[in-house]
Chain A
Amino acid sequence: MARSVSNRAKALNTAVAGTLGFLMFFPILWIIVLSFKTEEDAIRAPLEVLFNSGWTLESFFTVQERSDYFKHFSNSVIISLGSTFLGLLIAVPAAWAMAFVPAKHTKNVLMWMLSTKMLPPVGVLVPIYLIFRDYGLLDTRIGLVFVLMMMNLPIIIWMLYTYFKEIPGEILEAARMDGASLREEILYVLTPMAIPGMASTVLLNIILAWNEAFWTLNLTAAKAAPLTAFIASYSSPEGLFYAKLSAASIMAIAPILIMGWFSQKQLVRGLTFGAVK
C-alpha cells in the first residue's frame, strides 16, 4: 500500500460500508429470521419477533407437506443442471474451434451469437408457447431444459471462448515439440487448463437458469414448475403466511446464494460479455 491510512479513517469506512451493506442484506436476513418463527409470531412487531418469541422449524415441514417443496426443488435442479450441461456439450466444440482455429468470420459469428441474447423473450413468447402447446411440451421439464439452454447458450459460448483464448499458444507448441500427439495435447495439456474456466461457466449458468422467471412462469403449470413458479404461487393470498413464505423462500434461494458468493468474478465476465475487465 502506497500510503498509510489512519485507523480512524479505516474505522469510519468500515462503519459506513458495514451499515449500508447490512441494509442491503437485511431483507434476506429478515426472511431467515421469520422462517424460524410460528405464523402468529411472524406478523408481530419486528422487535418482538426478534427478542420476544420462540424459534421453531415448523414452517419448513409445513411447506414440504402442504406444497411438496422437494418436487419443485428437483424440477429446478433438473432444469438448471440439464440446460447448463446440454449447453456446455454444444458450446465447448464451438468455443474451442473459435478460440484455437479462428477463421476470418469468427468474430462476426461470435457477435451474431451474442446478438441472439439481446432478443427480448416476450418477442417470441407467442410462437414458442404455441409450438410447445402443439407438441405437448407445455409443463414438461424437457421443454424448459431446451428453452433455457437456448437462452444461455450465447453466454456459455462467449465465456468459454474468452477462457480458452487465455490459454497461451506457446504451451501447445512446447507440447508439440516434446512430441505430444493431438490426442495427448488435448487430454493432458489443454483440458487441465480449460477446466477452471469451464467450472466458472457452469456455475454462472446454473445461477442464471435457476433464477430465470419468464419462461419458467409462462411455460409451466403444476408438473414441471420449478422453484420460481412455486414461490409465485404464494403471491396471494398465501403470501400472508409470512413464516411459510419465508421458509419456502429461504429454501429456494439458499443453494444459489452460496454458489453466487463463489462466482462474483465470473459474473462480471459472463454478464458484460467481456466489455468490462
Chain B
Amino acid sequence: MISPSVILLLGWMIIPLSLTIYFSFLRYNLITPTGNPFVGWENYYWFLTDPSFKAAMINTLVMVGGILLITVIGGIGFALLLDRPMWGQGIIRIMVIAPFFVMPTVSALVWKNMFMNPVNGIFGRIATGLGFEPIDFMGQIPLLSIVLIVSWMWLPFATLILFTAMQSLDQEQLEAAEMDGAGWTSRFIFIVLPHLARAITVVILIQTIFLLSIFAEILVTTNGGPGTASTNLTYLIYVSSLLQFDVGMGSAGGVIAIILANIVAIFLMRMIGKNLDA
C-alpha cells in the first residue's frame, strides 16, 4: 500500500534531479539553439566565477543568518512572555501567530508600500514627522528590508515551536531552583535554555531549509536589486534560467543549491530520526 507514494516520490525526486544534473553539463540556451553540446564543468566554472554568484552567496548567508538571529531571539522572548500568567493569553497568542498565515506576496507588498515607502509609508511619515530624512528602504537598504519582512513572517513560527516546547518544562524544577535562591538569569541559563536547546535547533534547521528558498518576497519587492544587492542564490538561479533562458547555467546553480540545502538537511534528518523510535 505504500507503493503509490514511493513510486511517485521516487519519480518526483529522480527524474527532475537527474535532468538538472544532466542539463548542468550542457551548453543549453533556450533562445540560441546550439544543439546542446556537452561542455563538462564549464557551466559550473562560469556560475561559480560570476561576480553575482559571490554576491548572491553573501546575500543568502546574510539573509538566512539575520532572519535566524531575529526570529530565534525574538521567538525565545515571545515564548517566555506568553508562558507567563496573563489575561487574554489566547487572543494575544493569535495576534502574534497571525503573520505566519499571510501569503508571502501579500506580506512583502504590504510592508514595501504601506510601511517602507519613503513618501506614503508609515515609517517614512514617522521619520518626516520627527524631522529626519525618510529612508528609501528598497533603494538604500534592500537586503535589510527583506530580512525585516521575512523575519516578521517567521517570528510566529519560532514563537509557536518554542512556546510549545516551554509547556513541557517542569514547573516544579523551576520552583525548586527558585527556592534554592537561583535568580531569574541563572534559572533561564541553567534550566530554561537547556530545555529549549532541542527546539531551538529544530527551529534553526527547518527555517534554514525554507529560508534558503526565499523567492516571492524578493520578486515583488526589489527584483534582486539594485544591481545584485538583494539577489540570493534562489533568485540568481531563477534569473539565469527563466529570464536569461540559460538552462545549463541555471541547472549548475540548481545543483549547487541542492548541495547546500543537503548539508543542512543531514543534521535535521538526524534529529528527526532520533525522535522517531519514541
Residue positions of A touching B, CB distance < 8 A: 1-3, 5, 9-11, 13-14, 16-18, 20-22, 24-25, 27-28, 30-31, 34, 43, 45-46, 90-91, 93-94, 96-98, 107, 109-111, 113-116, 118-131, 150, 153-154, 157, 207, 210-211, 213-214, 217-218, 227-229, 231-232, 234-235, 239-240, 242, 245-246, 249, 252-253, 256-257, 259-261, 264-265, 267-268, 271-277
CB pair A122–B113 under 8 Å, yes or no, is: no
Chain B interface, number of residues (Cβ within 8 angstroms): 102
Chain B min CB distance to A273 (Å):
5
| Residue B130 interfacial (CB < 8 Å) | no
CB-defined contacts of A94 to chain B, threshold 8 Å: 1-2, 4-6
CB distance from A5 to the nearest CB of B (A): 5
**CB atoms of A17 and B82 under 8 A apart:** yes
Q: In the complex, what's the smallest C-beta–C-beta distance from B67 to chain A, in angstroms?
A: 15
Given contacts A127-B15, A228-B216, A271-B206, contact A218 B242 (CB under 8 A): yes
Determine whether the beta carbon of B114 is less than 8 Å from that of A118. Answer: no
Stretch at the interface among B47-55, B100-108, B139-147, B185-193: B100-108
Bound-complex Cα distance A25 to B159 (A):
14
Residues of B contacting A20 in the complex (Cβ-Cβ under 8 angstroms): 78, 81, 96
Interface 1/0 per residue, B149-180 and A, CB below 8 Å = 00010011100110011001001100100000
Q: List 5 A-B contacts (CB under 8 A).
A: A116-B12, A127-B20, A131-B16, A213-B105, A232-B220
Assess whether B156 is in contact with A24, with CB atoms less than 8 Å apart. yes
A211–B112 CA distance with the chains assembled, in angstroms: 19
A194 CA to B269 CA, complexed, in Å: 26
B70 within 8 A of A: no
Residue pair A128, B16 in contact (C-beta under 8 Å): yes
Question: Which residues does chain B contribute within 8 Å of A27, judged by CB atoms?
Answer: 99, 107, 110-111, 114-115, 152
| Contact of A274 (CB < 8 Å), options: B12, B199, B258, B276 | B276
Given the complex, which residues of B lie within 8 Å of A245, measured CB to CB? 109-110, 113
Chain A residue contacts of B265, Cβ below 8 A: 115, 118
Q: How many A-B residue pairs have CB under 8 A?
A: 295
B96: chain A residues at CB < 8 Å are 20-21, 24-25
Looking at the assembled complex, report how far the CB atom of B184 sits from the nearest CB atom of chain A, in whole angstroms.
Answer: 13
| Distance, CA A227 to CA B251, complexed state (A) | 28
In the assembled complex, B273 has its CB within 8 A of some CB on chain A: yes
Check: B31 CB closer than 8 A to any chain A CB.
no
Cβ distance A60 to chain B, nearest Cβ, rounded Å: 16
Q: Is B132 an interface residue (CB 8 A)?
A: no
Question: Which residues on the B side are within 8 Å of A97 (C-beta)?
Answer: 1-2
Contact A231 B109 (CB under 8 A): yes
Contact call B101/A207, Cβ cutoff below 8 A: yes
CA of A85 to CA of B100 in the docked complex: distance in angstroms?
23
Please tell me if the beta carbons of A116 and B9 are within 8 angstroms of each other in the complex: yes
In whole angstroms, what is the CA distance A217 to B216 when docked?
8
Q: How far is the CB of A104 from chain B (nearest CB, A)?
A: 13
The interface residues of chain A lying within 8 Å CB-to-CB of B94 are 261
CA distance A231 to B99 in the complex (A): 16
User: If the complex has contacts A128-B16, A210-B103, are A113 and B202 also in contact, measured as CB distance less than 8 A?
Assistant: no
Nearest CB of A to B9, in Å: 5
| Alpha-carbon separation in the docked complex, A203 to B199 (Å) | 24
Task: Name B254's contact: one of A16, A113, A126 (CB within 8 Å).
Answer: A126
Q: How far is the CB of B241 from chain A (nearest CB, A)?
A: 5
- Residues of B near A257 (CB, < 8 A) are 98, 101-102
1/0 per position for B233-254, CB-CB distance to A under 8 A?
1100110011000010011011
Report yes or no: A150 in contact with B276, Cβ–Cβ below 8 A: no
Q: Is the CB of A34 within 8 A of B114?
A: yes
A125/B237 in contact, CB under 8 A: yes
- Cα–Cα, bound, A249→B242 (Å): 27
Q: Measured between C-beta atoms, what is the minimum distance from B10 to chain A in Å?
A: 9
B242 engages A10 (CB within 8 Å): no
Which residues of B (10-49) have their CB < 8 Å from a CB of A? 12-13, 15-17, 19-20, 23
Min CB gap A32→B, angstroms: 11
Given A45-B125, A115-B265, A116-B9, does the pair A123, B258 have CB atoms closer than 8 Å?
A: yes
**Roughly how many angstroms separate A21 CA and B93 CA in the complex, as a whole number?**
7
B62 at the interface (CB under 8 A from A): no
**B95→A24 contact, CB < 8 A:** yes
Q: Please, which residue of chain A has its CB at the minimum distance from the CB of B221?
A: A235
In the complex, residue of chain B having the shortest beta-carbon distance to the beta carbon of A230: B105
> Chain B residue with minimal CB distance to A217?
B216
Cα distance A246–B111 in the bound complex, in angstroms: 11
In the complex the two chains form, is A21's CB within 8 Å of B92's CB? yes
Contact indicator A120/B234 (Cβ below 8 Å) = yes
Given A111-B273, A218-B238, A242-B120, 5 other A-B contacts at CB below 8 A?
A20-B78, A93-B1, A94-B1, A153-B5, A227-B103
Which residues of the partner chain A approach B237 to less than 8 Å between Cβ atoms? 122, 125
Q: Is B85's beta carbon under 8 Å from chain A?
A: yes
B20 touches A274 (CB 8 A): no
